[in-house]
């Protein structure tokens, strides 16, 4: 963590170069996790909708005769 704090004072190319890459990698991982959670919520919603539709159809057949 110390190189993050001290890298503006040091005029070296390597910490300046690796720091945005590391941030980008973390952001990419967070973005992937975000998409995964979003997809899981979407799938759960679709399944719930299908299940409720199926339950309504079955109930209509059973009670409707």
CB atoms within 10 A of CB 19: 13
pLDDT beyond 80 at 52: yes
User: 11, 39, 7: which is closest to 23 by C-alpha?
Assistant: 7
Sign of torsion, CA 54 56 57 63?
positive
Q: What is the pLDDT of residues 7-42, one digit of tens each?
A: 555 555 555 556 677 777 788 888 899 999 999 999
CB atoms within 10 A of CB 7: 15
Residue 3 banded pLDDT, cuts 50, 70, 90: very low
d(C-alpha 6, C-alpha 10), whole Å: 7
């Amino acid at each position: 963590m110390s190189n993050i704090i001290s890298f503006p004072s040091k005029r070296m190319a390597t910490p300046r170069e690796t720091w945005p890459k590391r941030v980008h990698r973390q952001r990419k991982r967070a973005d992937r996790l975000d998409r995964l959670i979003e997809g899981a919520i979407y799938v759960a919603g679709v399944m719930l909708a299908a299940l409720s539709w199926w339950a309504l159809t079955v109930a209509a057949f059973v009670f409707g005769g």
